[in-house]
A and B are shown apart, each in its own frame.
Chain A
Amino acid sequence: MHIYLPIAEMSVNMFTLLAMGAAVGFISGMFGVGGGFLMTPLLIFLGIPPAIAVATQASQITASSVTGALGYWRRKALDFKLGGVLVAGGFVGTLLGVWFFNVMSRLGQLEFVIVVSYVTLFGIIGSLMLAESLKTMWATRRGVVPLSRRSGEHPWYLGLPWKMRFHRSKLYGSVIPIVTLAMLIGFAGAVLGIGGGFILVPALIYLFRIPAAVVVGTSLFQILFTMMAATLLHAFTNQSVDVVLAMLLIIGGVMGAQFGARAGQNLKGESFRLLLAILVLGVGIRFAIDLVVRPQEPFSLVTVGARP
């Protein structure tokens, strides 16, 4: 059954979108990530204009992170103080990101920026994740216990000014690197239509040594608020949020996430990280192929001018 998307001005198969939402929701529930990094590319490959895919996806991530964050809050696995600092940085990043998005859109370079960012960002993050998980797997297979750093050791960036203490996260250090990280995630999120959980969670664990118990809940808290801001700003500045598309993605996503979460419980930590790494790298490679391989159709059309 086809349904007309009023903002995208196209007719799409409702069940295709619901199924896509459910499939991505399943994966996102399994890995505890928002799934934007899969959904936005899928929407673009489906023929939805990139601007509308990115802006609308922000609302889908809002919905999925509400579900996630509430769950972690009930289990008291959420550090509000750290979350607050992350949200503050995230807001600034989102603001800059939406501004950049609109400028690139006006220049007609948005699609190129999105493709190149996916290739570089996902290539780098995916490779890092893959290398890390392979190293851990190799080490555990040979029975070597990886050396955990002693708590006394402090990375230099935590020694910068404006120190704060986060009890729940067992962290004392400068807020500058934390806010910077949150800004970058907020920026990438607004431009690429991703929540950024798959970057934020490992960054909080490896760079700031936040205990695994609170890290996912806290990152979901940050993603929730930055994506709410991104949805609002996109709707306000470029009118690219399609409410019908958003609703379909949210419904599909919510359903899929429930089953994914159950499937995820039977997954071992290492294989879990390896799979996620392959997924992230795969998306990056898929975009890279578009850039490198001779296109079947070298020409493309863009219609400009005011909508009635």
Chain B
Amino acid sequence: MTRTGPTRTATSRLLLAAAALAGLFASLAPAAAETLILSLSTHRVSITSTYTGSSIVVFGAIERDERTVARAAPYDVVITVRGPRRTTIVREKERVGPLWLNTSQRRFVDLPTYLAVLSSRPIDEIAGGAFLTRYRLGLGMQITTPGMEHLTSEEPFREALLRLKNDQRLFAEEPRGVTFLTPSIFRAPITLPAVAPTGNYDVEVALFVDGAQLARQTTNFEVVKTGFEQATVTLAHDHAIFYGLGVVTMAVLFGWLATIIFRRD
């Protein structure tokens, strides 16, 4: 059992990241506006047989120099995490005679399978409605096709999508998910449930002051199956006939063993 693994590495990485960031502060060339410097606790989440989900920590530093204007208001940070894109179909059951059947559906093409929006305070406090649309901030914005925001027939399906994905913990909105350690260094934990699919995840961090965007920076991590899990999937997909024969042989062997172990005559 290595369940404590992610948290322990997370703390040690925090120290490392902080040290690295401190170094960067000293060495970087002067710049007019703030720059974002990001670091993830890991760039690779491995799925093993005891995998029950994972947690990744985003560390960030806001770099300023002598020429950067003094800000009256505190910084705000919004982090958007997007998992691999697939098409998701939302189906609705309706009454047909005595039965409840799937009657209508909407396709959400190339929708991120995982979405998390973390911010230092509620998004609508950070920026106004027009800004939310302009910078495509918030969970609702991520699943809306531009120009389709006012299509009312889509609305129940969009709501259902948000609700169901929320239940599976595949969509998450954390209005206080970003914590500032100092006025210019922040951290944010991203929680991945076990059902989060394998693939590449983009992490986009945006910096705001007084509702205006100052900087935007992206990084990424990947979720991969390793060892036995990866070998099983490869075998099942690329050598399906051997995989099938293997499973059948195992089943027959277990069945036969049972007659020997539990023989009663």
Interface residues of A (CB under 8 A from B): 1-4, 6-7, 9-11, 59-60, 62-67, 70-71, 74, 108, 112, 228, 231-237, 239, 241, 243-244, 246-247, 250-251, 254, 257-258, 290-295, 297-305, 307-308
Decide yes or no: A2 and B251 within 8 Å by CB, A7-B236, A112-B102, A239-B240 being known contacts.
no
- CB-based contact A59/B248 at 8 Å: yes
Give bound CA distance, A2 to B52, whole Å.
7
Show 9 residue pairs from A and B whose CB-CB distance is below 8 angstroms, ordered by the A residue: A4-B50, A66-B259, A108-B89, A112-B101, A235-B236, A236-B240, A241-B236, A243-B246, A292-B99
How far is B260's CA from A70's CA once the two chains are assembled, in angstroms? 10
Q: Is the CB of A62 within 8 A of B252?
A: yes
CB-CB under 8 A from A112, the residues of chain B are 101-102
Of the candidates B95, B156, B194, B248, the one having the most CB atoms from chain A within 10 angstroms of its own CB is B248
Contact of B86 with A298 in the complex, beta carbons under 8 Å: no
B98 touches which one: A10, A59, A292 (CB < 8 A)?
A292
For residue B20, CB closer than 8 A to chain A, the reply is: no
| A-B CB proximity, top 3 nearest | A66-B255, A235-B244, A299-B160
A291 to B262, CA, bound (A): 42
When the two chains form the complex, which single residue of A7, A9, A247, A290 contacts B197, counting CB atoms closer than 8 Å?
A: A9
**Complex CA–CA separation, A218 to B243 (angstroms):** 28
Closest to A232 in B: B244
How close is A242's CB to chain B, nearest CB, in angstroms?
Answer: 8
Decide if A67 touches B259 in the complex (CB within 8 Å).
yes
Complex Cα distance, B50 from A11, in Å, reads 8
Known contacts A66-B259, A243-B243, A257-B258, then 4 further A-B pairs from the complex at CB < 8 Å, ordered by chain A residue: A4-B47, A63-B258, A228-B248, A308-B198
Query: Could you say which residues of chain B place their CB within 8 Å of the CB of A297?
Result: 164
B157 to chain A, nearest CB (A): 7
Q: Are A6 and B247 in contact (CB under 8 A)?
A: no
Of the listed stretches B137-145, B178-186, B211-219, B226-234, chain A binds B226-234
Across the interface, do A3 and B50 meet the contact criterion of CB distance under 8 Å? yes
Does the CB pair A305–B93 fall under 8 Å? Answer: no
As a 0/1 sequence over residues 156 to 181 of chain B, the CB contacts with chain A under 8 angstroms (1 = contact) are 11001101110000000000000000
The count of chain B contact residues (Cβ–Cβ below 8 Å) is 63
Residues of chain B within 8 A of A307, CB atoms compared: 237
Query: Are A300 and B98 in touch, CB under 8 angstroms?
Result: no
Q: Tell me which residues across on chain B come within 8 A of A294, comparing CB atoms.
A: 95, 100
In the complex, how many angstroms separate the beta carbon of A106 from the nearest chain B beta carbon? 13
CA distance A179 to B134 in the complex (A): 67
> How many Å lie between the Cα of A184 and that of B196 in the bound state?
39
A308 to B95, CA, bound (A): 37
Q: Chain B residues near A59 (CB, 8 Å)?
A: 247-248, 250-251
Task: Determine the residue in chain B with the shortest Cβ distance to A119.
Answer: B99
Contact A243 to B251, CB < 8 A, known contacts A67-B258, A291-B99, A301-B88: no
Q: Which residues does chain B contribute within 8 Å of A298, judged by CB atoms?
A: 92-94, 100
When C-beta atoms are compared, the residue in chain A nearest to B193 turns out to be A11
A251 in contact with B102 given A302-B89, A302-B91 (CB within 8 Å): no
Establish whether residues B252 and A66, one from each chain, have CB atoms under 8 Å apart when the complex forms.
yes
Residue B7 lies at the interface, judged by CB distance under 8 Å to chain A:
no
Which residues of B are found within 8 Å of A64, using beta-carbon distances?
A: 255
Q: A10-B194, A63-B254 are in contact. Are A244 and B232 (CB under 8 A)?
A: yes
Tell me, yes or no, whether B24 is within 8 Å of chain A by CB. no
With A9-B197, A10-B194, A299-B160 as known contacts, state yes or no: A305 contacts B87, CB within 8 Å.
yes
Chain B proximity of A214: nearest CB distance (Å): 19
Q: How far is the CB of A237 from chain B (nearest CB, A)?
A: 8
The answer to whether A243 and B101 have CB atoms under 8 Å apart is no
Contact (Cβ within 8 A) A300 B102: yes
B251 & A250 in contact (Cβ 8 Å cutoff)? yes
Q: Are B254 and A241 in contact (CB under 8 A)?
A: no
> Given the interface contacts A2-B50, A11-B51, A63-B251, does A308 sit within 8 Å of B199 by beta carbon?
yes
The CA-CA distance from A1 to B49 in the complex, in Å, is 11
Q: Are B90 and A241 in contact (CB under 8 A)?
A: no
B121 interface residue (CB < 8 Å to A): no
Say yes or no: A243 contacts B194, CB within 8 Å.
no
What is the distance, in angstroms, from A62's C-beta to the closest C-beta of chain B? Answer: 4
A237 to B100, CA, bound (A): 31
The complex places the Cα of A199 from the Cα of B34 at a distance, in Å, of 74
Q: A112-B102, A292-B99, A304-B87 are in contact. Are A67 and B255 (CB under 8 A)?
A: yes
Q: Which residues of A contact B100 (CB under 8 A)?
A: 290-295, 298
> Are B165 and A301 within 8 A (Cβ)?
yes
Q: Mark B189-204, 1 if CB is under 8 A from A, else 0.
A: 0000011011100000
Check A236/B254 contact, CB under 8 A, given A9-B195, A243-B232, A303-B86: no
Q: Which residues of B contact A9 (CB under 8 A)?
A: 195, 197-198
Contact residues in B for A66 (Cβ distance below 8 Å): 251-252, 254-256, 258-259
Residue from the list B47, B157, B232, B245 in contact with A299, Cβ < 8 A: B157
User: Is B84 located at the chain interface by the 8 A CB criterion?
Assistant: yes
Closest to B165 in A: A301
Q: Which residues from A are CB-within-8-Å of B245?
A: 232
Cβ contacts under 8 Å, B53 to chain A: 11
Q: Does B11 contact A (CB under 8 A)?
A: no
